[in-house]
């Protein structure tokens, strides 16, 4: 994938559980990598959305990033625009490229709330 197509910035986050000072268990999101990653964010076309079918109806876009190991469907991608969090995408899976499997990942994503499950 050409670097020029990766014109967006995303931060990959995972859900973590910790106890606060009062001993109450809280759940928050924590970055997986330091900083943001270059990405291409593309909404699905109407044809792709229909072809996705009932099992994947919630998938509304795809995010393409350079290959990173360990990205899971329980994580989320935060689109960072002008230093601020713009949109939150729930990662539905991580698909490796066809050539080597180590060049880039395509992440089918949906919008809305995600409790990491």
Q: What is the CATH number of the domain that holds 100?
A: 2.40.10.270
Distance separating alpha carbons of residues 94 and 109, to the nearest angstrom? 10
Q: Which residue has the higher pLDDT, 80 or 59?
A: 80
Q: Is residue 116 part of a domain?
A: no
Closest CA to 95 of 75, 61, 71: 71
Q: Is the pLDDT of residue 69 over 80?
A: yes
**SS3 label, residue 42:** strand
Closest CA to 39 of 73, 75, 67: 67
Q: Is residue 117 part of a domain?
A: no
Q: pLDDT tens for residues 87-114?
A: 999 999 999 998 888 999 999 999 866 5
Minimum mean pLDDT among 18-22, 54-58, 80-84: which range?
54-58
Relative to beta strand 61-66, strand 37-43 is: antiparallel
DSSP H helical ranges for 1-117: 46-52
Q: Which domain range does residue 76 map to?
A: 3-111
Q: pLDDT tens for residues 4-34?
A: 899 999 999 999 998 888 989 999 999 999 9
- What is this structure's pTM? 0.80
Number of domains in the chain: 1
């Amino acid at each position: 994938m050409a670097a020029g197509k990766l014109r967006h910035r995303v931060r990959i986050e995972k859900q973590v559980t910790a106890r606060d000072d009062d001993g109450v268990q809280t759940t928050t999101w924590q970055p997986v990598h330091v900083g943001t990653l270059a990405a291409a964010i593309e909404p699905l076309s109407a044809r792709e959305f229909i072809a996705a079918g009932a099992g994947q109806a919630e998938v509304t876009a795809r995010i393409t990033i350079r290959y990173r190991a360990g990205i899971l469907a329980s994580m989320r991608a935060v689109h960072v625009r002008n230093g601020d969090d713009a949109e939150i995408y729930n990662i539905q899976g991580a698909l490796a490229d066809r050539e080597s499997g180590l060049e880039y990942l395509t992440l089918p994503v949906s919008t809305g709330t995600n409790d990491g499950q």
